[in-house]
């Protein structure tokens, strides 16, 4: 993901800002890292350049 995407992303739970931690870059792309809610502290992983912003209770849903 591009870092500029952060401007339009928010915590899916409380809609507060997200802060980027432990970012690894490939050029201007964030390839991995963690997005952390500045309010509730919930953590959202970025893997292979894709932020997973599902609310925590939906993360376990993995149909076959």
Partner 1 sequence: MDLADRRGLETDVYQPAEDSQLLADAACRRIDDGLVLEVGTGSGYVADRIATETDARVIASDVNPHACRQARERGLEAVRADLVSPFVDDAFDAVAFNPPYLPTEEDAEWDDWMERALSGGESGREVIDPFLAAVGRVLAPGGVVYLLVSSLTGVDEVVERAGEEGFSAVAVADESFPFETLTVLELVR
Give φ, ψ of 52 to 5 degrees.
-100, 100
Residues 20-49 that bind partner 1 (CB under 8 A): 44, 48-49
Q: Which is nearer to partner 1, 22 or 59 (CB)?
A: 59
Determine which residue in the list 23, 34, 39, 53 makes contact with partner 1, applying CB under 8 A.
53
Distance from the Cα of residue 40 to its chain's centroid: 14
Strands 29-37 and 43-47 turn out to be antiparallel
The residues of the shown chain that bind partner 1, judged by CB under 8 A, are 1-2, 5, 7-12, 15, 44, 48-55, 58, 63-64
């Amino acid at each position: 993901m591009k870092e500029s995407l952060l401007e339009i992303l928010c915590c899916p739970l409380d809609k507060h800002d997200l802060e980027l931690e432990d970012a690894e870059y490939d050029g201007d792309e964030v390839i991995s890292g963690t997005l952390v809610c500045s309010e509730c502290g919930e953590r959202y992983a970025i893997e292979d350049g894709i932020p997973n912003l599902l609310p925590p209770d939906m993360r376990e849903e993995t149909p076959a």
